[in-house]
Amino acid sequence: MVSYFLLAAAFVLLAVRFTKLLRLKRRNLSAREIDQHLHALLNEKRERP
């Protein structure tokens, strides 16, 4: 039962990240701009305590 919960949580996280990427794509950003945005998001997460 716990494994199903963890699997569902992982799926939700992947779905959220995928929808973020789709929204960026819809704005017609170049691949370089998308990479810069994703790096900025990663850096924000690392800087948070």
The whole-number pLDDT of residue 9 equals 93
pLDDT tens track for 4-40: 999 999 999 999 999 988 887 777 767 788 788 889 9
Domain boundaries, the chain: 2-44
pLDDT band at residue 43 using 50, 70 and 90 as cut-offs: confident
| Residues present in the chain in total | 49
Give the pLDDT confidence score for residue 49 in this predicted structure: 64
More confident residue, 32 or 49: 32
45, pLDDT greater than 80? no
Residue 29 and residue 37 in contact, taking contact as beta carbons nearer than 8 Å: yes
Q: Residue 31 CA to chain centroid, in angstroms?
A: 15
Please, are residues 34 and 24 in contact by the beta-carbon 8 Å criterion? yes
